Amino acid sequence: MAALPIHAPCANCGLAASEQRELIGTTVCHKGRFHGAPLTIVACPRCGLVYQNPRPTEEQLNRFYTQDYYKEQKGEKKRLALDEKFVLKECQHRWLTQHLTEIRDQDIVDVGSGYGQWLQLFSDSNRLLGIESSERAIQYAREWYGIEMRSLDFLGSDLEPQSFDLVTGLAIIEHFLDPLKALVAANRLLRPGGHIYLRTPDYFGLVLRSGIHKYFTLTHTYYFSLATLSSLLGKAGFEVVASERIPPLLETSSLLHRRNYFHGQLQVLARKRQDTSLDAACQRPYSGDDVEEVFAALHQAQTRDRVYTLLSRGRKGWVGAPLVRASLSLASRIAPKPPSKYEVFRAKREAAASQPNLDL
Ligand SMILES: [Zn+2]
């Protein structure tokens, strides 16, 4: 990929690109694949919003999503990956229906539907529409779930204004080059009293995830906290009615085995405001995070990664520190090697089926 050309001001408070503080550099594109230009992630010193700056153009990103995004998932690996994510989606669906009890018979549009597993959970609803750019994913959703899928530009779409009751977006808002514009577009699609449901990685959840270098990627242009996401929702004419910080799927023993696991997530449900125009909402004052706390969270994660690396090398004999090896040996007996990620998810799925209120 060519150099990344676009420098953007803060989407939350508007502070100029030149004022942003560099947080971390990375070269990861998506799931470990990227060999192009290095990426720079910055933090806004005024509101704490974390984002990629500079970033790719819309054309560069669209080319990647339509051609490459789902390429690495094939055969059994794809099936397992889908199954794992499906368990998470089931839990999120349960949370959403607890907070939005009138969800039956609604018209629902999902942005970035992927393989359609999320939408097919709303089979009681009146109309389901999935928006997706990957032809591979669209075909899968149509064939397996019979969902109406369309490949269109969400921001410039010809969808009828005020024609839906619920807009959902799982792991999508962090991909937009202009998230405020995307949220405003969602607002326009909603009828009065309509809702938006979003799930996105929690920036302050990254401290518990192993491998910080895998967290920052080309495709994630923004890294939200509950404060910065709520602020943007407010500017797009929404009020948050429910939110949750989902902790990482962390097994105690995974600390000893350097297992990779999901980082923390945010899920937010917000209602379309009736008492203000969109133009007025966009002028609302911003809220956010203390930028020093943003940097502190990253440093904590980096320190933890260095400890993991040391322990891992010690276990394999690269460093050869007998004390480290002995400690790990003892610890491994106390905390045996954890089950695979898939086994964990399968167990949670079975537990979820028998316990309606299971918390992740
Ligand atoms: Zn800012």
Between the CA of 33 and the centroid of ligand 1 the distance, in Å, is 30
Share of the chain above pLDDT 90, in %: 38
Confidence band of 189 (pLDDT split at 50, 70, 90): very high
Helix, strand, coil share of the chain (percent; to 5): 40, 20, 40
Confidence band of 358 (pLDDT split at 50, 70, 90): very low
Q: Which CATH architecture has domain 74-295?
A: 3-Layer(aba) Sandwich (3.40)
Question: How many CB atoms lie under 10 A from the CB of residue 26?
Answer: 18
Residue 125 vs residue 223, higher pLDDT: 223
Confidence band of 217 (pLDDT split at 50, 70, 90): confident
Between the CA of 11 and the centroid of ligand 1 the distance, in Å, is 7
- Maximum Cα–Cα distance across the chain: 67
Between the CA of 56 and the centroid of ligand 1 the distance, in Å, is 20
Digit-coded pLDDT (tens) for 79-102: 555 555 666 788 889 899 999 988
331 Cα distance to chain centroid:
33
134 Cα distance to chain centroid:
18
Between the CA of 217 and the centroid of ligand 1 the distance, in Å, is 20
Instruction: Give me the pLDDT at residue 280, please.
Output: 84
Mean pLDDT of 183-212: 87
Between the CA of 45 and the centroid of ligand 1 the distance, in Å, is 7
Digit-coded pLDDT (tens) for 23-33: 988 765 554 44
Residues 243 and 264: their CA atoms lie apart, in Å, by: 13
Instruction: Give me the pLDDT at residue 257, please.
Output: 43
Between the CA of 49 and the centroid of ligand 1 the distance, in Å, is 6
Residues facing residue 317 across a β-bridge: none
Between the CA of 288 and the centroid of ligand 1 the distance, in Å, is 8
Between the CA of 19 and the centroid of ligand 1 the distance, in Å, is 10
Between the CA of 222 and the centroid of ligand 1 the distance, in Å, is 12
The H or E element spanning position 22 is: strand 21-26
Beta strand spans in 298-353 (E): none
Between the CA of 5 and the centroid of ligand 1 the distance, in Å, is 20
Digit-coded pLDDT (tens) for 253-276: 444 444 445 568 899 999 999 887
pLDDT value at 131 more than 90? yes
What is the domain partition of the chain in residue ranges? Answer: 74-295
pLDDT value at 312 more than 90? no
Between the CA of 234 and the centroid of ligand 1 the distance, in Å, is 15
Instruction: Give me the pLDDT at residue 215, please.
Output: 76
Between the CA of 301 and the centroid of ligand 1 the distance, in Å, is 23
Residues facing residue 111 across a β-bridge: 131
Instruction: Give me the pLDDT at residue 165, please.
Output: 96
Between the CA of 350 and the centroid of ligand 1 the distance, in Å, is 43
Between the CA of 221 and the centroid of ligand 1 the distance, in Å, is 14
Mean pLDDT of 185-192: 94
Digit-coded pLDDT (tens) for 218-248: 788 999 999 999 999 999 999 999 999 887 6
Q: At what angle do helices 179-189 and 226-235 cross, to 10 degrees?
A: 50
Between the CA of 178 and the centroid of ligand 1 the distance, in Å, is 13
For residue 49, give the amino acid letter: L
Instruction: Give me the pLDDT at residue 346, please.
Output: 62
Q: Which of 298, 212, 219 is nearest to 21 (CA)?
A: 298
Instruction: Give me the pLDDT at residue 210, please.
Output: 60
Cα torsion through 267, 273, 278, 280, rounded to 10: -110
Between the CA of 295 and the centroid of ligand 1 the distance, in Å, is 15
Between the CA of 91 and the centroid of ligand 1 the distance, in Å, is 32
Residues 284 and 184: their CA atoms lie apart, in Å, by: 14
Digit-coded pLDDT (tens) for 47-75: 999 999 888 777 777 777 666 565 555 55
